[in-house]
Amino acid sequence: MTTVLIRVINPNTTASMTASIGRAARTVAGPGTVVEAVNPATGPASIESHYDEALAVPGLLAEIRREGASAHVVACFGDPGLDAARELASAPVIGIAEAAMHAAAFLGRGFSVVTTLARTTGRARDLAHAYGFGERCRGVHSCEIPVLALETDPAARAVITERCRRALETDGSDAIVLGCAGMADLCSGISATLGVPVVDGVAAATVFAESLVRLRLATGKQGEFALPPAKAYTGILAPWALVQ
């Protein structure tokens, strides 16, 4: 059996979160699949704003450029740099928000997203519409826990679980999507407590990426997602110029 290498990229630089993300991905990876969880050497410690997201993309793309992966997972719920990554990579690239919403759409008529900070809810709504789930996504809710506090706040699990419960009641949803890669280890516990499907985008994206590899499918390269045209880049971006 040929080994499948899924490179799961945490676009922030917090190694402990990368380790947690890697564990979530390995839990669902099939036989013959190796999960490599990585994060960039440079970039923000967490991604909680458009500014953070923009400055996380160069580090993400540096990981995409490395050879050897059968497929890539972008493990941030904003799916930062996803289109650029698909241009750059010859292998499939899956974003966790896109994967989670697709998975949730299989599980009922509507789903609710529960994420970290209120300032990130607009991005989640935009993605739901962009991915064709505007009607299926019945609400996006924040729990006001910063990304890095997910690892350190002892009350985080209870707060997020309660927010999920309220979202189900408010929205009349059939499933919950957890809107942060740092929530990956909460998925099964919340599902057991609330009695509804709870989707973690890291796991969903890993399985979808693996499936595309098994199907021998990758991003189409004849149009928009062809390799970017070669041109000069200047200043600190000079190393990013592509040579064809």
Whether the predicted pLDDT of 25 surpasses 90: yes
- Distance in angstroms (rounded) separating the CA atoms of residues 42 and 39: 9
In the numeric block, which tokens belong to residue 74? 């972008």
* Rg over CA atoms, the chain: 18
Whether the predicted pLDDT of 175 surpasses 70: yes
Confidence (pLDDT) at 1: 60
Average pLDDT (212-228) is 95
What does the pLDDT look like over 78-98, one tens digit per residue? 999 999 999 999 999 999 999
Q: What is the DSSP letter of 180?
A: -
Q: The domain containing residue 180 runs over which residues?
A: 107-200
The mean predicted confidence, pLDDT, of the chain is 96
C-beta atoms surrounding 190 within 10 Å: 22
Is there a contact between 70 and 135 (Cβ–Cβ < 8 Å)?
no
In a domain, 102, yes or no: no
What does the pLDDT look like over 26-43, one tens digit per residue? 999 999 999 999 999 999
Q: Do 146 and 226 belong together in one domain? A: no
Beta bridge partners of 8: 37, 73
Amino acid at 122: G
Q: Do 151 and 221 belong together in one domain? A: no
What does the pLDDT look like over 4-22, one tens digit per residue? 999 999 999 999 999 999 9
Average pLDDT (114-128) is 97
What does the pLDDT look like over 127-151, one tens digit per residue? 999 999 999 999 999 999 999 999 9
Confidence (pLDDT) at 8: 98
Q: Do 89 and 18 belong together in one domain? A: yes
In a domain, 19, yes or no: yes
In the numeric block, which tokens belong to residue 4? 């499948």
Beta bridge partners of 95: 74
Whether the predicted pLDDT of 244 surpasses 70: no
Q: Do 113 and 89 belong together in one domain? A: no
Provide CB contacts within 8 A for 116, sequence distance 6+.
48, 142, 143, 144, 145, 146, 147, 150, 179, 180, 182
First to last CA, the chain: 33
Confidence (pLDDT) at 90: 94
- Distance in angstroms (rounded) separating the CA atoms of residues 34 and 46: 26
- Distance in angstroms (rounded) separating the CA atoms of residues 163 and 179: 12
Q: Count of domains in the chain?
A: 2
CATH number of the domain bearing residue 53? 3.40.50.12500
In a domain, 131, yes or no: yes
Residue whose tokens read 């997602």 = 225
